[in-house]
Amino acid sequence: MNLSNKISRLFGHFASYEFPSPLQNLINAVYVKIFHIELGEFAPASSYASLNALFTRALTSERTINPNPIVLVAPCDSLITQMGKSTQKNALQIKGMEYSVEELLGQKLDREFYYINFYLSPKDYHRYHAPCDMEIYEVRYFGGELLPVNLPSLQKNQSLFARNERVVVVGKTSTNKWLYFVAIGALNVGSIVMHFESRVESNAKSHDICYTYRTPITIKKGEELGMFKMGSTIVLFMEQMIPDVHINEKVKFAQDIGTHT
């Protein structure tokens, strides 16, 4: 097991432990202060029985989802660190740093795809949602490292996305176009959860696994797909997309980010 994976497991044990209420309240308060977490849409820090519960906090009220079927919404609260059009072989993790799309997804693409990288920092809401109505045909788990995915690490580590542990959701849009929703693990993110597939348990397997569905799983736009146990990255690949966002723009889940056809 890589050192980064060991660190993530140890941190995971600490974060999931429920300390006595006075101590847990202090831990939660310190975390909120250090990372400048805004809890206006969430329960107060003292209501979480562990750090994991705080990390994976749910919204206390629903955000409004654009009903127009061609409008894409941001899948998570995040910073857009890179976006563009991939070649059949490569995409960018950040400016000047390419990686192999085939290594990331576990398959070759026969055409260019549009992509957006969404970085979730430790202070962000850690749940992620469907950017559009979609049908899921396959889920792929790839074991790997758990290197940090913050900007300094992206600038330093070659092919970071394709090296890190990840879960790839393979689906189609309502217009029958392919999309790939990739949840990438990172340091201290010892668990990537997919609500529709309980057999996926990241940082627990040493081998790659693929689950294929004879009957596709239908997911509505804005529906919660899963969550990270801390900050990490979502990479969205779409066969057709007209983005309406920019690199270094902060976005919120449910915010309009473009259209698809």
For range 9-37, the mean pLDDT: 89
Q: Which secondary-structure segment (H or E) carries 179?
A: strand 178-184
- Catalytic choice (124, 202, 232, 260): 232
Predicted confidence (pLDDT) per residue in 98-130, tens digit: 999 999 999 999 899 999 999 999 899 999 999
DSSP-H helix ranges across the chain: 3-16, 21-34, 51-55, 101-105, 151-156, 160-163
The verdict on whether 77 is a catalytic residue reads: yes
Residue 40 corresponds to which tokens in the numbers above? 């206006």
pLDDT at 191 over 80: no
Q: Give the per-residue pLDDT at 208.
A: 87
Q: What pLDDT score was predicted for residue 105? A: 97
Confidence band (pLDDT; 50, 70, 90) for 1?
low
Q: Where do the domains of the chain lie, and which CATH numbers do they carry?
A: 3-55 (no CATH), 71-259 (2.70.70)
* Residue of 174 and 6 predicted with greater confidence: 174
CB 115 within 8 A of CB 104: no
Top-confidence residue, 97 or 180: 180
For the segment 132-146, the average pLDDT, to the nearest whole number, is: 94
How many whole angstroms separate alpha carbon 60 and alpha carbon 149? 28
Q: Which residue has better confidence, 199 or 259?
A: 259
pLDDT tens profile 238-248: 999 999 999 99
**pLDDT, position 151:** 81
Tokens of 134: 């979609």
Catalytic site residue from 8, 77, 86, 124: 77
Task: Dig out the tokens for 180 from the structure.
Answer: 């790939």
pLDDT(164) > 80: yes
DSSP 8-state class, residue 209: E
Choose, from 78, 126, 129, 191, the residue flagged as catalytic: 129
- What the block records as the tokens of 50 is 């562990």
pLDDT confidence of residue 10: 72
Query: For residues 93 and 114, what is the distance between their CA atoms, to the nearest angstrom?
Result: 13
pLDDT of the residue at 88? 79
Please list, in sequence order, all residues whose beta carbon lies within 8 angstroms of the beta carbon of residue 166, skipping any fewer than 6 positions away.
104, 141, 142, 144, 182, 183, 184, 185, 192
What pLDDT score was predicted for residue 54? 94
202: pLDDT strictly greater than 90: no
- Please indicate whether residue 78 is annotated as part of the active site: no
What pLDDT score was predicted for residue 131?
A: 99
